[in-house]
A and B are shown apart, each in its own frame.
Chain A
Amino acid sequence: MLKTAVNGMDPRTKLVIVLCLSTLGVFIQDIYMLTGVLLISGVLSTAFGSPLFSVVKKMRRILGLFVAIAVVQSIFAPSGESLLSIGGFTLITGGGFMKGISMVLRMSIVLVSATIMSTSNSREIIQGLVQWRIPYEIAFMVSVGIRFLPTLSEEMKNVVTAIQLRGVDLDKIPYKQRFKIYSCLVMPVVSGAMIKSRELSTAMETRAFRAYPKRTSYMILSMKPRDYATIIMSLIAGVVVLLCYYRPF
Chain B
Amino acid sequence: MISLFTEPLDAFCGGFFLLTAIGIVSTRQMLACLRLFMIQALLLVAAALLIGVKLSSGDLVAVAVITFVTKVVAIPWVLKLSLGSEIYAQREIDQVLNIPLALLISAALVLFSYFVATPMVTAVGQPFTNINLPIGLAGLVLGAFTVTVRREAMAQLIGLLVMENGVFFASISIVPHLPVIAEISAAIDVPVMSLIIGLLIRRIHKRTGSTVVSELATLRED
Is chain B found bound to chain A in the same assembly? no
Binding site for A on B (CB under 8 A): none
